[in-house]
Amino acid sequence: MLTINLIREQKDFIIERLKVKNFDSEEIINKILLLDSSRRDILSKSDQMQGELNRISKEIGVLMREGKENEAKTAKERTYKLKEDIRSLSDKLIPVENDLRNEIIRLPNLPHKSVNPGHGADDNFKLREGGKIPALSEKALPHWELIRKYDIIDFELGIKLTGAGFPVYKGKGAKLERALISFFLDEGVKAGYTEVIPPIMVNEDSGFGTGQLPDKEGQMYSVTLDNFYLIPTAEVPVTNIYRDVILNGDSLPIKNVAYTPCFRREAGSWGAHVRGLNRLHQFDKVEIVRIAHPDHSYESLDEMVMHVESLVSRLGLPYRIMRLCGGDMSFTSSLTYDFEVWSAAQKRWLEVSSVSNFEAFQANRLKCRFKDKGDKQTRLVHTLNGSALALPRIVAAILENNQTGSGINVPEVLVPYTGFNIID
RNA sequence: GGAGAAAUGGCAGAGUGGUCUAAUGCGGCGGUCUUGAAAACCGUUGUCCUGUGUCCACGGGACCGGGGGUUCGAAUCCCUCUUUCUCCGCCA
């Protein structure tokens, strides 16, 4: 959510910037400014009357104590009309404030100045790439056949237990999954992140804080009886730890790493490219989250990109880092880098991480602020997060890229975690 | 799940209808004293909205778990929700 101050002061700048996201904001902003001025109008009148009412009430208190009953009665009569007027103003105010809020939350976050305009994946900018694309034999299999061959992940069984997109990991497949989670968490802790294990269901306030609600409830599974949502990413509970708090400036940046299962309904997104592990309703992910000082948040973003890069590179996977164009970026993001790894048998790039700076957009929803030492004013923090990493596509790439005639080689860095170096 | 009690500033804790502009203590910040520190003493203290003046103040309004109500006036009374604690029941 953009701050109302910014909208008041930088209207034209906002309209220009949002064009990079292909978002025409002029009409909304004009409506916002109109509602805002009518809100302040009503508020100043009603505050003035409230002040008057408070004064009279205090007078009545004094008169009563002095036993001047008649004068107290006269004073009381003066309050009736005031009370009525205040009530009618506040009745007017409620819809104005609701409309104002509903309009403000329709505005997406402003893209960072380095973001190019564009409409989709083709307009993204390749920042850099690394690793070597393996040359596989003609007989190389896609991962959905490999997992069947080695009996390590069972989709049919998941369908029986729950439904499509809820796989069962078995034997060395389960161990590989657990090894990756441990490896990612340990690397995060080594890089100075504090590990947290959050709830995997959240309430409505949390969903609002990070921007999933009110518009994207269709993407999340909900527990309607208790009004909870299954998290689509650890970003939601971990960032909401800092909802409604005022931090010390010198505690920033706060760095958290969390493993959670993630749940996504993926309504309407099933198509040709979603076989096997490419898209699931439940998957494992390790997420890094930062609460950063606004003056240093882009340094934080760079550090997070380097951290994720070290993970894919140590797993020996060929990767590229894309800076998303305006049209491909999420509603809440200012700047996003996507990590893609090469899946050798499918011969395509798979997105395995998305690292974003949300600047103050989530912080304004979360009311997460900080105060620098000696400062009287609070400021909004910047929030950032990134997958480090999402597991299923990493598993798919490892399986496909590392397949040999005699089995699948486990990346060296994982062997201490798996206890085996080949899946056969 | 049943019965009872409670929720007040960063923390502890007073306040049961009107100078509450929320006591007091601790903590924090600034200062005096000191070679330095501690102790002592003095001062200060939250958040949000809004207006004037314009980067620092001043004025008005709101906030005592959330929401609603009674009243000229609510931390205080009423309703409701949430959370916590105690006891009972159930349970990995």
Q: Read off the pLDDT of residues A297-307 as tens digits, 9 standing for 90 and up.
A: 999 999 999 99
ipTM above 0.90, yes or no: no
Share of chain A above pLDDT 70, in %: 99
CA A8/CA A24 separation, integer angstroms: 17
Distance A246 CA to B43 C1' (A): 26
**Burial (CB count <10 Å: 0-12, 13-18, 19+), residue A69:** exposed
- Distance of A58 CA from B21 C1′ (whole Å): 12
C1'-nearest nucleotide to the CA of A83: B72
Tell me the per-residue pLDDT of A25-55, one tens digit each, with 9 for 90 and over: 999 999 999 999 999 999 999 988 988 898 8
A163 CA, B65 C1': Å apart: 42
> pLDDT digits over A67-93, tens only?
777 888 888 888 888 888 888 888 888
pLDDT at A268: 66
The mean pLDDT of chain A is 92
Query: Chain B: nucleotides under 7 Å from a protein CB?
Result: 18-19, 46-51, 57, 60-62, 72-73
Choose between A187 and A370: higher pLDDT. Answer: A187
| Every domain range in chain A assigned CATH 3.30.930.10 | 121-423
The CA-CA-CA angle for residues A84, A89, A91, to 5°, reads: 95
CA of A229 to C1' of B1 (A): 25
- CATH code of A121-423, in short, is 3.30.930.10
Q: What are phi and psi of A237, to 5 degrees?
A: -65, -35
CA end-to-end span of chain A: 51
Distance A205 CA to B46 C1' (A): 24
Lowest average pLDDT, out of A68-77, A131-140, A193-202, A389-398, goes to: A68-77
Closest-approach nucleotide to residue A374, Cα vs C1': B29
Q: Where in chain A is the domain with CATH 1.10.287?
A: 4-104
Nucleotide nearest residue A40, measured CA to C1': B50
CA of A380 to C1' of B55 (A): 18
The domain made up of A4-104 has a fold known as: Helix Hairpins (1.10.287)
Q: Which nucleotide is nearest to A46 (CA to C1')?
A: B61
Between the alpha carbon of residue A2 and those of residues A9, A35, A74, A199, A256, the distances in Å are: 12, 15, 49, 28, 25
Which residues of the protein have their beta carbon within 7 Å of strand B? A 4, 40, 43-44, 47-48, 50-51, 53-58, 60-61, 64-65, 76, 79-80, 83, 246, 369, 371, 376, 378
CA–C1' gap, A212 and B62, in angstroms: 30
